Amino acid sequence: MIERYTLPEMGRVWSDAHKYALWCRVETLVLEAHAAAGRVPADVVEPVRQAPPPTPERVAEIEATTQHDVIAFLTAWADNTEPRSAAAYVHHGMTSSDLLDTALAVQLTDATDVLLAKADRLVAALRDHGLAHRHTLKVGRTHGVHAEPDVWGHRVADLAFAAARCRDRLRTARTAVGVVAISGAVGTYSLIDPSVERIVAEALDLRAADASTQVVLRDGISEWVSALAVFATVCEAVALEVRHGQRTEVRELSEAFGSGQKGSSAMPHKKNPIRSERIAGLARVVRAAVVPVMEGIPLWHERDISHSSTERVFLPDAAITLDYLLDLTAGLVENLVVDAERMRANLDSTGGLIYTSAVLLELVEAGMGREQSYALVQGAAMQTWQTGTPFRETLRARAATEGVALDEARLDDICRPERYVANLDPLFERLAALS
């Protein structure tokens, strides 16, 4: 991922320098286990443990000849080992994927921990914003068209619970990818004792694979990428709400606009929802990772390498992008500008059409047939759409034409927006308990 969207902590997780440090750690743990079991000389452990990780530049230089990254790493690391002869026991009984998959599991779980911390911030931001606007009346829209009265906090609560569910999926996915496999060339432990795998897994606070071939089957990694994609899409749902709310015709929401900020090189008046649009664009990047990574599940027999190049691109990019998205979305919510007066004006802008559902039920409960009630209310509503005459007036005139008596006092009561949101208190109690 380009530096523009890479935050420092997550960037470090996926840096080549950190990767090679992890490779050294895994190889050292394996060597220590061998030495403890008496399979290799005990005196080779300390020189290997003290050898500094090779630089990415040195590994790349050797790989240009070997065309094999693990061999290049082992050669470069051996060059850093004194005496170099101690390095002969490094990678003992292992195959490349024992190292690669185990170190990748550490990277994936470390990346997940970074994401979970940011997920906590986003959930808290949405929760607090929703509670702050539990009484901020707005119009609810379906198909983009005014439907019934709502409160802004209700819409935000829905997104807060979605973010919390995404966080739960991340936690589950962390377990799915936290798998160690050190089982040899085709997973049969032919040249390495199974106890080594268990010892390394315990040291890394991961779990040993239930079974592996030369690689760990990629269903767990696919689950992890899918969890990231769902979370990115929930971030986009937050952004989409802001993008709609900042449209000139709506003007209910707006992103914070700082002093000195510019919206357009040509039009000085512009205040554009650039953060929300960036969220929408980057969510596509994370979703794009799902299918290519999932296609790494079916490999030839005990392993081929077709998954490797895909994962080198999409796993870091998906994690780095979601990390940036979570940070950007939390900041968007924390600094969101809500125009409650404009929300109320938009609520009232259709002349009472938003109350047709309550009027329909009121007529039915008063004894009129549902079809007749629907026809009466719809006819009055269509006249309001066409003429701009307030709905209560068109309803009153149409009812008089059809000889239907209206209870005006009752209509006064049901044509109040507060009536539509009176049952939301339990929802906000659940929201307040969200942590």
Distances (CA, A) of 273 to 260, 267, 332: 16, 15, 10
**Active site members:** 143, 264
pLDDT range class, residue 389, cuts 50, 70, 90: very high
Phi, psi (deg, nearest 5) at residue 150: -150, 180
Q: What digits encode the pLDDT tens for the residues 197-252?
A: 999 999 999 999 999 998 999 999 999 999 999 999 999 999 999 999 999 999 99
- DSSP line for 108-125: HHHHHHHHHHHHHHHHHH
Residues of the chain with CATH 1.20.200.10: 95-345
CATH of domain 1-92: 1.10.275.10
Name the pTM for this structure: 0.94
Q: What is the pLDDT of residue 406?
A: 92
CATH class belonging to 95-345: mainly alpha
pLDDT at 261 over 90: no
| pLDDT confidence tier of residue 122, bands split at 50, 70 and 90 | very high
pLDDT in tens, 48-73: 999 999 999 999 999 999 999 999 99
Task: Give residue 270's pLDDT.
Answer: 86
CA-based nearest residue to 327, from 1, 96, 88, 6: 6
Please give the CATH topology (third level) of the domain spanning 351-421.
Answer: Ribonucleotide Reductase Protein R1; domain 1 (1.10.40)
Q: Which two tokens stand for residue 348?
A: 């009232």
Q: For position 376, what pLDDT does the model report? A: 96
Which ranges of 16-68 would DSSP assign to H, the alpha helix? 16-36, 45-50, 56-66
And the tokens for 67? 């065309």
Query: Is the model's pLDDT at 269 over the cut of 80?
Result: yes
Tell me the mean pLDDT in the region 29-38. 97
Confidence band of 265 (pLDDT split at 50, 70, 90): confident
Residue 2, pLDDT score: 82
pLDDT tens across 84-117, in order?
999 999 999 999 999 999 999 999 999 999 999 9
- Asked if pLDDT for residue 1 goes beyond 80, the answer is no
Quote the CA–CA distance of 331 and 3 in Å, as a whole number. 19
pLDDT in tens, 138-172: 999 999 999 999 999 999 999 999 999 999 999 99
Looking at the chain, which residues constitute the CATH 1.10.40 domain(s)? 351-421
